[in-house]
A = this chain, B = another copy of it.
Amino acid sequence: MIIVLKSTATEDNIQHILKRVEQLGLKANISRGVERTVIGLLGPEDKLRAIPLEVFPGVDQVIPVLAPYKLVSREFKKDNSVIKIGKDIQLGGSKIIVMAGPCSIESLDGLRSVAKKIKQAGANVLRGGAFKPRTSPYDFQGLGEDGLKHLAQVGKELGMATISEVMDPRDVGLVGKYVDIFQIGARNMQNFSLLKEIGKTKKPAMLKRGMSATIKEWLMSAEYLLANGNYDVMLCERGIRTFETYTRNTLDINAVAVAKQLSHLPVIVDPSHGTGRWGLVGSAAKAAVAAGCDGLMIEVHENPEEALSDGEQSLVPENFNSLMKDLGKIANAVSRTI
């Protein structure tokens, strides 16, 4: 932690800060420049972060030096984390994992039908929403447990792993009974009660980046999961909110490489939410693979005109199939498979 003093700071101000810092058992290093005095503090920043040094008299700025996250950091673990999902899937290695399916689970037959095509196209994990976070209280809220049952059954029939969102800490046990991966949605990235509950399970979890979360905050939310005992965490970039309105979100393609530099956790990209328009999903998915993602999550629906949610960003199976072929070529170009 570095404390930059105001040009008007007095010697009393300095001594007051030093006294407080020493109480914490930290060592200070003072640089007295012509224009400003700067105090460098050595030792664990955690203790310091709890103190609002900004309000101490004479302080201009307080600058943290160390990252606030630990368990998720590359410094903590040098090698890429590889997460085992179901029996066969390894996420975080050379094979790029594709999760696909409808936004919402609408019926058992509908899910089975689209899942077959998705599997044939090469997807590894079946996605489908049973509990849906909807902006409007009047919109379709999902089938709930019935949806989860459909998902588990189709997953079992086709030998696919499954993923579905859990929104409420009270539902963690219920959802966990049916799915292989918990999805934590963008709106819940800082739902700390939910993070703690999922952290206590041992089931893989995919943490979507909040729509206005910095990469640092995203990693801090992942830290909640690891700090509570769950190390099988994957990050998911799904677009951030910016001033641009043509697309539903702005896919932050930079975040893929940044997250992989700062953390050992695998990174998934969701080009469906990242664009919000099915005609842009292909381009964004290709970019994600080229940028180095470890997985993709793509919405597919057999009849988007009838979809109960997110129809405008869903691919039809034919387009998904064709996209998978294109992605295979790009994966090879970056020495990976899909």
Chain A contributes a number of interface residues (CB within 8 A of B) equal to 107
| In the complex, chain B residues whose CB is within 8 Å of the CB of A314 | 55
A79 located at the interface, meaning its Cβ lies under 8 Å from any Cβ of chain B in the complex:
no
Task: Please determine whether A254 and B251 come into contact, CB atoms closer than 8 angstroms.
Answer: yes
Report which of B31, B192, B304 forms a contact with A29, defined as CB distance below 8 A.
B31
Report whether over half of chain A's contact residues are helix, strand or loop; otherwise say mixed. Answer: mixed
9-residue interface stretch from A89-97, A111-119, A276-284: A276-284
Task: Please determine whether A305 and B244 come into contact, CB atoms closer than 8 angstroms.
Answer: no
8 Å CB interface, A69-118 against B: 69, 75
A255 to B244 alpha-carbon distance, docked (Å):
10
8 Å CB interface, A42-76 against B: 42-43, 46, 49-52, 54-56, 61, 63, 65-66, 68-69, 75
Q: How far is the CB of A94 from chain B (nearest CB, A)?
A: 16
A137 to B66 alpha-carbon distance, docked (Å):
16
Q: How many copies does the complex hold?
A: 4
Q: Which residue of B lies closest to A185 (CB)?
A: B190
9-residue interface stretch from A144-152, A200-208, A213-221: A213-221
**Given contacts A169-B169, A192-B134, A333-B329, are A212 and B214 in contact (CB under 8 A)?**
no
Q: Which residue of B lies closest to A239 (CB)?
A: B254
**Given contacts A42-B31, A283-B257, are A190 and B135 in contact (CB under 8 A)?**
yes
A337 located at the interface, meaning its Cβ lies under 8 Å from any Cβ of chain B in the complex:
no
A231 located at the interface, meaning its Cβ lies under 8 Å from any Cβ of chain B in the complex:
no
Task: Please determine whether A136 and B223 come into contact, CB atoms closer than 8 angstroms.
Answer: yes
7 more contacts with CB within 8 A, not counting A29-B31, A212-B243, A251-B253, are A2-B38, A49-B139, A168-B193, A214-B246, A245-B245, A253-B287, A254-B283
Q: What 8 A-B pairs come out closest when comparing CB atoms?
A: A52-B311, A212-B212, A290-B290, A257-B283, A287-B287, A329-B333, A168-B193, A54-B312
